[in-house]
Structure 1
């Protein structure tokens, strides 16, 4: 991702764990200067400031506010990053845009697609940049899977599934109040719907379910979405479960079945990609060259390297009657936290390009974010299914 030559004074509104992560992840970027942080407690604000100052120790004059509205009103803030609970995203975005700020929203950006669409229109009228912080498409393994699918190097996709097993969230947390979070698909699932739409095409049909615990929480949800791509329908099942013991390792796994093989991707921040199937010698060489282009060290420009390799190596690939051989290869990355930071940096730099060039659309557009929420809404069920006793 091309670095920005501009210098932005950024305010982070909402001082939770993700705000702390972002402050540290974005601090090394020359374009990022933390000008203000808003949070309800001194301790939370301090954690965000400390994460920033550890990476940029000579910084000073970071103003502190208790309320997000106070930060939004600060005339010295150019960009507002909103990391508040989801039910506050839409009203705070509207306030920030009306104050002339550019806004980078933590996902989902609103509890309903129509609210996010209204703010997109407001941003257009005010000529302000607005984006949702959906980071997975800025990861090189996600981009590599896209190239494998779109160039049909293992044939066409027949079926795919996403299994996301996450740690339990503490009882009483706003996450469980769907009036604040929107539910798992809206608060969390939009990340994966964005990837699914990117790989498999837009949703033609969708149906979801949710299982309710005796305490009223709905920690297990699933949906089957029929994506449509090139006239073909691709069924994809999405499952999210926030039920795991905090001491157990979390697990996120994509499994993609094609007419000639299989692609698997492991990790919420993807860390391992496996490819297997019957391919021609030319296809095997193309896959090898594509996988060889994946950087081994975290980099905010990683997806650009994958895209360049794909343009160079795959443009001449076409269906062939040549004999096929069994192909198997796995690429494993290290430094999960570093790759998470690199993806967040790439998203922020992409956002900066929207500010600097009104003709830019960005990799993940507002239309994408709106479509993700709309799909999440269609998969969020009103009825509560209780487990069998």
Structure 2
């Protein structure tokens, strides 16, 4: 990944908490110049602008709009970042593309894969860049697991699960109105479907469920997806629960079970990777070298050392007769917020490359985002599971 050599005039439409985070995270990048913000209230807009100025105090004059459409019509913008609720993603992206803007969408990019794909086609016809802000694959721990799976370092994957338990969103928030959010899998789960597709292959089958509460919300959802890669089937269970008390710590865990061991990844922003199992001496050396390449400090190009190590290292040829020894190692990172900012920066810089070179596809493509959204739709159940009698 390379830094952009251009400075883009960026408008952010939607002035919520994520817009505030993004303005601060991207402010240090020379390619990012916050030029306009759209939000319903003066207070929200000014919080986003203040977050930007906290990291880039030299630049003033950010224009303010109350409506996203007003920002989109600003002729002095190169890029529009849409951080509005999901039901507005598709119509606002369409309008921005029609006015000649490049568009970076907060996930999911639309309520349906069909509407997202329509905007992908429009972007191609208008020669504009379009991407969805799916960031997890820019994290080096995600890339490390990809390499371990790809080379069967612990044997083939048999089964995996994702457990994502987070704080309950306040009652009355648009998140609970599935006409606006699409539901948990669409609004939130696409992040993890993107990782699952990257690790285990495309989805061949999917079935989901949702559990209702008395207030009409569906805060607990789950799905079993059968992923397929080169003819090998891997069942993966995905669970998301927005039920936790605000004082309790949130938890996100991937568990990947293989023929000869297990891989565990902790954190919504991944912060700890544990690898254990039976391996040959050559396999142990390979895994150690790969894990040694993981950067300990966050920065936007942090997956590049992983890729270079993977290119440089020759995976050992598996031999059933080779003696195997127990292997166990854990990598723990620090500075969670710094890593979140780093992967957001990596996503934006990757988006800039799409603008600058029409032959670029990017690490996470718009087509990837559409496939993630299609899978989220397939897993979004209308009712809770039938009772077994």
TM range (shorter): over 0.9
User: Could you tell me how far 1:14 is from its partner in structure 2?
Assistant: 0.2
CA contact (8 A) 2:168 2:244 kept: yes
Question: 1:223–1:237: 8 Å Cα contact kept in structure 2?
Answer: yes
1:127 corresponds in structure 2 to: 127
CA distance in 2, matches of 1:21, 1:366: 23
Given that 2:20 and 2:47 are in contact with CA atoms closer than 8 Å, whether structure 1 keeps it comes out as: yes
Aligned-partner SS, 2:295? coil
Partner in structure 2 of residue 349 of structure 1: 349
Report Cα offsets for 1:91-138 as digits up to 9, x if no partner.
000000000000000000000000000000000000000000000000
RMSD: 1.2
Work out the CA distance in 1 between the residues paired with 2:343 and 2:279. Answer: 31
The one-character-per-residue Cα deviations of 1:200-234 (angstroms, maximum 9, x if unpaired) are 00000000000000000000000000000121110
How far is 1:367 from its partner?
1.0
- Other-structure match for 2:23: 23
Q: Per the alignment, in what secondary structure is the counterpart of residue 29 of structure 1? A: coil
SS at match of 1:206: strand
Deviations 1:337-386 (A, max 9, x none): 00000000000000000000000000001110000000000000112469
CA distance in 1, matches of 2:362, 2:356: 12
TM-score using structure 2 length: 0.98
Q: Which moved more, 1:295-304 or 1:90-99?
A: 295-304
Alignment of 1:1-389 (within 5 A): 1-313=1-313, 315-320=314-319, 321-384=321-384
Contact 2:211–2:383 (CA under 8 A) maintained in structure 1: no
Native 8 Å contact 1:2 1:349 kept in 2? yes
Instruction: Give the paired residue count.
Output: 387
Preserved CA contact (<8 Å) 1:15 1:48: yes
Contact 2:299 2:342 in 1 (8 A): yes
User: For the Cα contact (< 8 Å) 2:283–2:315, is it kept in 1?
Assistant: no
Is the contact made by 2:37 and 2:64 (CA closer than 8 Å) also made in structure 1? yes
Shift of 1:316: 4.2
Structure 2: give runs of 5+ residues left out of the alignment: none
Runs of 4+ in 1 over 4 A off after TM superposition: 384-388
TM-score by length of 1: 0.98
- Give the stretch that moved more between structures: 85-94 or 376-385: 376-385
1:214-256 CA-partner distances (Å, limit 9, x unpaired): 0000000000000001211100000000000011100000000
| SS of equivalent residue, structure 1 residue 23 | helix
| In 2, Cα distance between equivalents of 1:380 and 1:156 | 29
2-structure distance, mates of 1:47, 1:385:
43
C-alpha distance in structure 1 between counterparts of 2:217 and 2:382, whole Å: 13
Contact 1:211 1:387 in 2 (8 A): no
Q: Alpha-carbon deviation of 1:33?
A: 0.3
Q: Any unmatched runs of 5+ in structure 1?
A: none
Distance in 2 (CA, whole Å) between partners of 1:205 and 1:189 is 16
SS of aligned partner of 2:165: strand
Does the CA contact (< 8 Å) of 1:212 and 1:387 recur in 2? no
SS at match of 1:236: strand
Q: Does the 8 A contact of 1:211 with 1:386 survive in 2? A: no
